[in-house]
């Protein structure tokens, strides 16, 4: 049994980590930190957890949490983890950061997109990008695990197997997200009456998940990849659906594509392949750690259309974070994580 | 005062035509046809219209309707209009077809996508594509008006002004639709519990609105255009939001783009230009005949991202049909049509 | 053409007044006040109104507004109107208050439920409860019109015709509201992810609309009435549905009930009677000023179940406010107000 | 490990049983029957279960299923179980009927409300009403378990502890349900566009769950109870929220009420008590087997308002059915059943 802490436990992603840990057989919650609700019980903020998690929320104090925990999950706005995670903390604790600060290997890229100081290159060098399907072995030894973003996980996992079969500069990703992706902040734009019965694009040409997608796809492709990424908000609580369009290299067959997916994901516990792009619906993955992927070749246009989908708070955030903990501490990778739900 | 009929009056698009005609000062409803509800009152099928439209529904009998009406709106499944609209009918009546049968000038293209016999080329030659912003003058003299599809209207109007500024073969359209686009048919896939809290792509690589978009954009471009069109279903009743991505020709400036939109749409009553792609939300146009369009240049990738949006049952179907009637009969083009709603 | 002002123009109710006034042929918007958006255009706050209402928002300054306007609509939190409306203001301007301050004839009752100072009894004496179906004649001469609440309008109109047929102390009202009733304030409880896919009761035993309902039903009944009122929040934007249950007096027949409704509402422009309690759905009245009412006798239990429904922002707030303006200024009562929508 | 069958496995309730059984450590699915999808895989009907349950669906053949299974779940329209469950079947198999046929002890009452032949009195005498909180001991020995309805479970559990504290004929229950309660049938009334953004009452004065509620509350009260039950449909997938109003007997204190709930439910694994009627939100129980109950005394009116809530497909149907199986076969009552979710 390890001791786990969560800093930023009352945001949607942090709270989901708490909820998953409550059902985990090998981790015990030792510390819950919150910015806005210090001194209140977790269940007073999330009454769905009444009688399940009535722990009192403490300050968002990483040093204190680290002193009591084997692993600390960070669910914080950009910039805080970069400033607060130190070598001393890492000496005793594994950090799983659900934020962006340690995801980009190049600090300059981080600063350009986030307008905040990046972690030092020494710190960045210790961080592993926590996408198990790509970096499982490194995660096992990592002291800082940079948990990927929700759009990012969907996009990278959808495209990684076929990067050698498409033109790397032709990738267009139009992705749809449920509203929980915008967080629990008190913003007019997140009100029910502003989101319900409406769809919109946002962050056009400048969404911060773009460089993350490009970093990882470039690594897979072995050459620099630049993508056109346009996220959209649609009126549902949870879920990401990413439609990825790319030009096929000449002569690529459907069999080659199918083999590529099968080869890379045949043994993955949390990836489910669907027979076509239209067969994937985001609700299939709600409240699970599973990613669904389907694809269709448009022989008329010579393009491949891939649809990937997951639950943004689960595999897109908290579930993947717990998966990373499971890998890092040698637990069953699927412990406390749902593979399906109906 | 003209006499108007609606065949297929109890589907969502047909019923919306009825509703708009009820508020029209120069058209009187003389005939309402229905496949499934013959003998019942319209308001028994749509109780929101109790006391407003209690007319009894008759057979879907085009000949009979045409004999009593100056204009007949058709809201029917593909293939019926092609078979039933004759020269005799057109001698006395204007047909406004909300279906697809008369939209494609080339009957062979229709047959390839719809797997049904097209109208004869003589009949097709009389049909005008009923998109006022592109074909207003021809609509004034048309005896058959082929009312465009909802995705089509959004996509064409979003892209038409800039076809000379982008690479014509680079266009990717990912569009989102509310569920009313699937019609009122009793299908599992349209049930609340199958659509709510979920998003999906459908018709990938083979949606029937594709050739319509290509036909009209090719006409504007002056050369053949092939687009990648992927529609999606999202959990809202009404609304289309189309995200159109295209590679800019070298050297195109933002000013040129802005001028192109201003020039084409400056005087249009039902087009509203927004300052960016992110500024357009589908709810802004719910229950109006207005199309909203915004765009953003991604200087990093050299692409133009355009977002267009409208209400699929209004400007995307019934509203545009009434607009076409207004144009054809010399009424104020905006009669009975809302420009805004809040 | 009269000059109209709106104080609190950027909340949901105030903005709906603005939107309705924009379509009104006899009122011109001369003043728009806002607490949070002074100096911005109305359409920058509500981009659905871009090009329709681009007026600049001024301070929420009632004195200034009154000096420029024939009528001023107040859409403010409780207590402000009580403090700011003076005899001087009323000398030149008609006040239509969408808030609660002038609704309760007894200032002590107001203070008990609202915990704020009530208007003076002199001011209260000049106020008319702005429910046209009950007080149309008084509204014609009123200088202060206290526009009823949304739950209140639904409940009173549902029950008023049958108060002589039921036991006055047996009334239970369980009402459902869309989320816009909670306003546009930045509260966690109003976020999409907190409201979607959920229902809850709130204000149990202490909702402030209770005394209003009791005041008006007591007037109709001619004796004091006390009701059990429990409001609920359900995941939709607009709409109220009130289920009112009451014990029938011995021997009351269905014919008597039907006659009572017909007699009171037969000539009302904005009331539509439905054949049963189950026949009323809140969507039928969305974006209209119409109230739907249906009822069913349970002969097994001897109770009458009445369902009333309306759009909370329309007949439940802004629409009724404009209706009151129309009555007060001698315009057609239905000017700028929709009777139906589909 | 027992062998389990599900007849009617492709409706919403049946499919939820399947899903829960897939995660059960002591039950194996041996038979899946379907009316409409014979020969297809379960996952082709529910693609969320792809790779999880790919079993082929067989006929809805109870005799065959019973011959292969220790327990058979029936999720069928009213009347079929009454006709098909025989003494022979019960000799070898436990029947857990999610339908209504065995719920009412008095066959005449069944026939009056359902207009179908009831099971014989011999068969009815063997059936136990499967509400563990009231009948746990009898369930342990039952060969036919009549799984309660969703509204019923909520209403009975909300009221049972306080039946001795309220006037038994004063109970008004206004309940809200998500749309999945209407089933997966292809009906216009269940379409997304007919349910979304709307609320309605239905089954007013004649909903079939009424006699079930009355039967069980009468048993608890020790005297005949008649309730006013009005169900409503609101736009969410899952969840029941029942607002129960009753007149308190003179002198009853809040402490007595609190003690009554604590005494009856203090040790129950699936009941969670909330501090007030307003504290209960239906989303708290989504995808769990937990019932939430809160109450508020209105000292002004002398009434008690209780709000109960659960997930209609889980504790209101499939979850409770699996709970009954767990009890009947001596498994841990909570096996495979979630107590919380976030």
Helix (H) or strand (E) holding B2: strand B2-7
Q: Report pLDDT digits (tens) over B267-303.
A: 999 999 999 999 999 999 999 999 999 999 999 999 9
What's the first-to-final CA gap in chain B, in angstroms? 31
Nearest alpha-carbon partner for A22 in A282, A336, A316, A242? A336
The pLDDT score that the predictor gives to residue B98 is: 98
C238 in contact with D at a CB cutoff of 8 Å? yes
Contact B192 D187 (CB under 8 A): no
pLDDT band (50, 70, 90) for residue B322: very high
Does the beta-carbon distance from A51 to D284 stay under 8 Å?
Answer: no
Q: Which helix (H) or strand (E) holds B286?
A: none
Q: Which of residues 286-325 of C touch B (CB under 8 A)?
A: 287
Q: Please give the share of chain C, as a percent, with pLDDT higher than 70.
A: 100
Model confidence at C31, pLDDT cuts 50, 70, 90, reads very high
Q: Measure the CA angle with vertex D70, ends D65 and D71; round to 5°.
A: 75
Q: How confident is the model over B196-228, as pLDDT tens digits?
A: 999 999 999 999 999 999 999 999 999 999 999
CB B133 within 8 A of CB B153: no
Cβ distance of B278 and A204 shorter than 8 Å: yes
Average pLDDT, integer, range B101-105: 98
Q: Which helix (H) or strand (E) holds B41?
A: none
Mutate to test the interface with B, among A178, A198, A314 (most CBs of B within 10 A): A198
A193 touches chain B (CB under 8 A): no
B52 confidence band (pLDDT: 50, 70, 90): very high
Residue A236 distance to chain C (closest CA, Å): 8
Q: pLDDT class for C269, splitting at 50, 70, 90?
A: very high
Confidence class for position B109, pLDDT limits 50, 70, 90: very high
The pLDDT of residue C288: 98
For chains B and C, what is the number of CB pairs under 8 angstroms?
Answer: 59
Q: Which domain holds residue B118?
A: 2-147+315-328
- Shortest Cα distance from A35 to chain D (angstroms)? 20
Q: Is residue C341 part of a domain?
A: no
Q: Using CA atoms, how far apart are residues A283 and A294, in angstroms rounded to an integer?
A: 15
Are D340 and A47 in contact (CB < 8 Å)? no
Rounded to an integer, what distance in angstroms lies between the CA atom of residue D102 and that of residue D209? 13
Is B338 within a domain?
no
Among the listed residues B150, B193, B195, B244, the single catalytic one is: B150
Shared domain for A323 and A300, answered yes or no, is no
Interface check D237 vs B, CB under 8 A: yes
Q: How far is A302 from chain D (nearest CA, A)?
A: 28
Structure tokens at A109: 């890229």
Angle at A20 between CA A17 and CA A24, to 5 degrees: 125
Q: Say whether residue B47 is in contact with chain D using an 8 A CB cutoff.
A: no
CA distances, C87 to each of C96, C101, D110 (Å): 14, 15, 67
Contact B192 D195 (CB under 8 A): yes
Question: Are C54 and C77 members of one domain?
Answer: yes
Residues B64 and B162 in one domain: no
Any D CB within 8 A of A238 CB:
no
Task: Determine the average pLDDT of the residues in D300-317.
Answer: 98
The predicted pLDDT at position A90 comes to: 97
**Model pLDDT, residue B142:** 98
Distance from CA of D53 to the nearest CA of C (A): 27
Are D19 and D98 members of one domain?
yes
Question: How far is residue C128's CA from residue D200's CA, in Å, rounded to a whole number?
Answer: 32
Q: Is A87 exposed, middle or buried (0-12, 13-18, 19+ CB in 10 A)?
A: exposed
pLDDT digits (tens, 9 = 90+) for A220-241: 999 999 999 999 999 999 999 9
Tell which C residues from 323 to 342 touch B, by Cβ distance under 8 Å.
339-342
Find the CB nearest A188 among C180, C184, C194. C184
CATH classification of the domain holding C222:
3.30.360.10
C114 and C238 belong to one structural domain: no
- C109 at the D interface (CB within 8 A)? no
Query: Does B275 touch chain D if contact means CB atoms closer than 8 Å?
Result: no
| Residues C199, D276: C-beta atoms closer than 8 Å | no
Distance from CA of A118 to the nearest CA of D (A): 32
Q: Which residues of B touch C334 (CB under 8 A)?
A: none
Same domain, B122 and B166: no
Select the residue from A192, A235, A238, A239 to test the C interface by mutation, using most C Cβ atoms within 10 A. A192
Assess whether C202 and C291 both reside in one domain.
yes
Query: Residue A341 falls within a domain, yes or no?
Result: no
Asked if residue A110 belongs to a domain, the reply is yes
| Residues of D in Cβ contact (< 8 Å) with B197 | 237
Average pLDDT value for chain D: 98
A139 and A159 inside one domain? no
Q: What is the pLDDT of residue B276?
A: 98
For position D84, what pLDDT does the model report? Answer: 97
What is the C-alpha separation between B75 and B33, in angstroms, rounded?
10
Cα–Cα distance measured from residue B232 to residue B174, given in angstroms and rounded to the nearest whole number: 7
What is the 3 state secondary structure string of A36-48?
A: CCCCCEHHHHCHH
**Residue C295 sits in the same domain as residue C319:** no
Question: What CA–CA distance (Å, rounded) separates C69 from B2?
Answer: 42
Q: Beta-carbon neighbour count of residue B63 at 10 Å?
A: 11
Q: What is the dihedral of CA B327, B333, B336, B342, to 10 degrees?
A: 140
- A284 closest CB neighbour out of D47, D196, D197: D47
Nearest CA in chain A to C184: A188
Residues of D annotated catalytic, as ranges: 150
Just list the catalytic residues of A.
Answer: 150
The 3-state DSSP class for residue A310 equals strand
- CB atoms C307 and D238 under 8 Å: no
The answer as to whether A337 is a domain residue is: no
Query: What residues contact residue D154 under an 8 Å CB cut-off, 6+ apart?
Result: D175, D240, D241, D242, D291, D308, D309, D310, D316
A12, A191, A236: residue with CB nearest C184: A191
Place of tokens 């957890």: A49
The answer to whether D193 contacts chain A (CB < 8 Å) is no
CA distances, A278 to each of A241, A262, B226, D47, D325 (Å)? 11, 19, 21, 12, 38
Taking residues C281-285, what's their average pLDDT?
A: 98
Give yes or no for a contact between B135 and B328, defined as CB atoms under 8 angstroms apart: no
Q: What angle do CA A58, A63, A65 make, to 5 degrees?
A: 45
- CB within 8 Å: C197 and A237: yes
Q: DSSP assignment of D140-152, as one string?
A: HH-SEEEPPPHHH
Hey, how many other C-beta atoms are within 10 angstroms of the C-beta on D271? 20
Give C-chain residues touching B311 at CB under 8 angstroms.
none
Tell me if A205 is assigned to some domain: yes
Question: Searching chain D, which residue's CA lies closest to the CA of residue C174?
Answer: D174
Confidence at C173, pLDDT banded by 50, 70, 90:
very high
Q: What is the ipTM of this complex?
A: 0.97
Categorize the per-residue pLDDT at C108 as very low, low, confident or very high, splitting at 50, 70 and 90.
very high
In this complex, the residue of D174, D238, D307 whose CB is nearest that of residue C243 is D174
Closest CA to A95 of A324, A302, A291: A324
Contacts of C300 in chain D (CB under 8 A): 205, 226
The Cα B180–Cα C315 span in angstroms is: 26
The reported pLDDT for the residue numbered D242 is 98
Q: How many helices (H) and strands (E) does chain D have?
A: 13, 13
Domain count, chain D: 2
Task: Collect all residues of chain C within an 8 Å Cβ-Cβ radius of residue A191.
Answer: 179, 184, 186, 190-192
- Taking only the tens place, the pLDDT of each residue in B120-154 is 999 999 999 999 999 999 999 999 999 999 999 99
Question: Which residues make beta-bridge pairs with B91?
Answer: none
pLDDT at D231: 98
**pTM, 2 dp:** 0.97
* Residues D253 and D110 reside in one and the same domain: no
Q: Which residues of C are identified as catalytic? A: 150
Answer whether B186 touches D (CB < 8 Å): yes
Contact (Cβ atoms closer than 8 angstroms) between residue A238 and residue A286: yes
- Which two structure tokens, joined as six digits, stand for A324? 């990373």
Q: Is D232 on the interface with C (CB under 8 A)?
A: yes
In a domain, C159, yes or no: yes
Phi and psi at residue D27, to the nearest 5°: -130, 140
Cβ contacts of D50 on chain A, cutoff 8 Å: 272, 274, 284
All residues of chain A having their beta carbon less than 8 Å from the beta carbon of residue C196 are 179, 192, 196, 235-237
Which of B15, B47, B342 minimises the CB distance to C49? Answer: B342
pLDDT at A44: 98
Q: Are residues C241 and C125 in the same domain?
A: no
* pLDDT tens figures, A102-132: 999 999 999 999 999 999 999 999 999 999 9
| pLDDT computed for residue D305 by the predictor | 98
Average pLDDT over residues D311-337: 98
CA distance B106 to B120: 10
Same domain, B267 and B306: yes
Q: Write down the pLDDT at residue C285.
A: 98
**pLDDT range class, residue C63, cuts 50, 70, 90:** very high
- CB contacts under 8 A, D 145-184 vs B, are 179-180, 184
Compute the distance between CA of residue D252 and CA of residue D275 in angstroms, rounded to an integer. Answer: 18
Asked, for residue D224, whether it belongs to a domain, the answer is yes
Query: What CATH number has the domain bearing residue C113?
Result: 3.40.50.720
Q: In the prediction, which pLDDT does C16 show?
A: 98
Alpha carbon distance C310, C156 (integer Å) = 12
Q: How far is residue D217 from each of residues C56, D191, D302, D333, measured CA to CA in Å?
A: 61, 35, 21, 24
Mean pLDDT for chain A?
98
């Amino acid at each position: 049994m390890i001791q786990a802490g969560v800093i930023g436990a009352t945001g949607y992603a942090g709270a989901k980590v708490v909820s998953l840990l409550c059902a985990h057989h090998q981790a015990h919650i030792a510390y819950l930190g919150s910015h806005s609700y210090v001194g209140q019980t977790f269940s007073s903020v999330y009454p769905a957890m009444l009688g399940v998690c009535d722990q009192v929320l403490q300050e968002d104090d990483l040093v204190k949490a680290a002193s009591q925990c084997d692993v600390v999950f960070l669910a914080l706005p950009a910039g805080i983890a970069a400033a607060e995670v130190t070598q001393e903390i890492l000496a005793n604790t594994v950090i799983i950061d659900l934020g962006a600060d340690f995801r980009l290997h190049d600090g300059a890229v981080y600063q350009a997109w986030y307008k905040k100081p990046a972690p030092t290159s020494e710190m960045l060098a210790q961080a592993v990008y926590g996408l198990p399907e790509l970096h499982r072995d490194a995660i096992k030894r990592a002291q800082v695990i940079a948990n990927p973003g929700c759009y990012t996980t969907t996009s990278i996992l959808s495209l990684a197997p076929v990067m050698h079969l498409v033109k790397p500069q032709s990738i267009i990703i139009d992705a749809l997200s449920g509203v929980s992706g915008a967080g629990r902040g008190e913003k007019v734009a997140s009100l029910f009456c502003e989101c319900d019965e409406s769809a919109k694009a946002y962050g056009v040409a400048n969404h911060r998940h773009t460089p993350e997608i490009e970093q990882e796809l470039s690594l897979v492709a072995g050459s620099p990849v630049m993508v056109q990424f346009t996220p959209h908000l649609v009126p549902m609580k949870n879920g990401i659906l990413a439609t990825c369009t790319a030009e096929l290299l000449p002569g690529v067959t459907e069999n080659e594509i199918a083999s590529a997916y099968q080869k890379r994901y045949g043994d993955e516990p949390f990836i489910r392949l669907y027979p076509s792009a239209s067969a994937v619906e985001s609700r299939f993955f709600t409240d699970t750690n599973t990613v669904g992927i389907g694809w269709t070749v448009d022989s008329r246009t010579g393009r491949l259309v891939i649809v990937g989908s997951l639950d943004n708070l689960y595999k897109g955030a908290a579930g993947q974070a717990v998966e990373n903990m499971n890998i890092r501490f040698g637990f069953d990778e699927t412990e406390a994580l749902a593979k399906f739900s109906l």
